Structure 1
């Protein structure tokens, strides 16, 4: 069953970042694509691997001008420790209330045993073009975004 946000406008969010400051994500406002990924828990093996893959891919994503944002339900202090320990170079947001997960219809993974690991590729107009949902294949999330960036780059006429 397709995700309910597929081909629809992505919701805007305002959540605290790892420094505790309010961060507002308004997909499409800046005119660049957004990779928004939800992960289960900061500091765990899979989430660290996924977050670091996005960290390392940000240089490539900047070439194509893509914003990367990570979200989990961890408290700000835990997010701050995670960001500092891993040298994450993109906003990591605390969704302690679960409002972002609800807005993006992100449920549970592994038969309800954990929070789901879901990545949204949102185009430069703020439309959710595709959703990748895989709790165990944490390395595939940044590759999913790379493939979409290549596809969108081909769709955009060069000047």
Structure 2
């Protein structure tokens, strides 16, 4: 199966209401600055259904029970097309401890290329893992196997821990430019040292 087209790309931005009706900006920010932590963003078909409830609760429990979730300080975010009041009931009934967003107009669905489920019924169950630099590192679409999503995130976080963060093209250019400046500065210092030694040698010989 071909990888999702957004893998290794910067994650899209959007704003959606959470279960309390407050606008939630994605990627998350604090005082206007992007939060530097990995994100597990999962799209689920419908709040309150058996599979979606199980999936949402598994993410809730993983934040407390799984060391990799705690160690990486991953931000879990759930999204479905359910309206805010239904999301609120869902969050409260299941004691969900992470943001759950309402996407009635499929803004985030379209931005992340999340389509329909099996036979075109309902929305697809899809999860994305995004690194601390905002790069989408992997995705999973598994409509029936709701148990697979927390396992997928666990493995993806373990992989992130073992690899350096992916730098965006602009960051790479900035880093390369800084290295070039440093190298140029070193070359200049070396040249000045050689010139000084040459002058000393000339005076001694004279």
Q: Distance in 2 between matches of 1:91 and 1:27?
A: 10
CA shift for structure 1 position 113 = 1.5
Cα RMSD (Å)? 1.5
Q: Distance in 2 between matches of 1:13 and 1:84?
A: 24
Using CA pairs under 8 Å that are at least 6 residues apart, name the structure with larger relative contact order, 1 or 2.
1
Q: Distance in 1 between matches of 2:28 and 2:38?
A: 8
Q: Distance in 2 between matches of 1:2 and 1:144?
A: 14
- Residue 36 in 1 paired to residue 41 in 2? yes
Q: Which residue of 2 aligns with 1:48?
A: 53
| Aligned partners of 1:13 and 1:24 also within 8 Å | yes
TM-score, normalised with respect to structure 1: 0.94
Q: Is the alpha carbon distance of 1:105 and 1:27 closer, same or farther for their aligned partners in structure 2, counting shifts above 3 Å? A: farther
Q: Distance in 1 between matches of 2:35 and 2:155?
A: 21
- Please list every run of 5 or more consecutive structure 2 residues that lacks an aligned counterpart in the other structure: 166-206
- Residue 90 in 1 paired to residue 91 in 2? no
Deviations 1:82-136, CA, capped at 9 Å, x for gaps: 0000000000000011111000000001121121000001111111111100000
Q: Distance in 2 between matches of 1:143 and 1:107?
A: 22
Runs of 4+ aligned residues of structure 1 deviating over 3 Å after TM superposition are: none
Q: Which residue of 2 aligns with 1:116?
A: 124
TM-score, normalised with respect to structure 2: 0.73
Q: Secondary structure, in 3 states, of the residue corresponding to 2:120?
A: coil
| Aligned partners of 1:6 and 1:129 also within 8 Å | yes
- Residue 72 in 1 paired to residue 80 in 2? yes
Aligned length: 157
Q: Secondary structure, in 3 states, of the residue corresponding to 1:111?
A: helix
Q: Distance in 2 between matches of 1:150 and 1:2?
A: 19
- Residue 139 in 1 paired to residue 147 in 2? yes
Q: Distance in 1 between matches of 2:157 and 2:88?
A: 28
CA shift for structure 1 position 40 = 0.3
CA shift for structure 1 position 2 = 2.2
Q: Choose the corresponding residue for 1:154, options 145, 149, 162.
A: 162
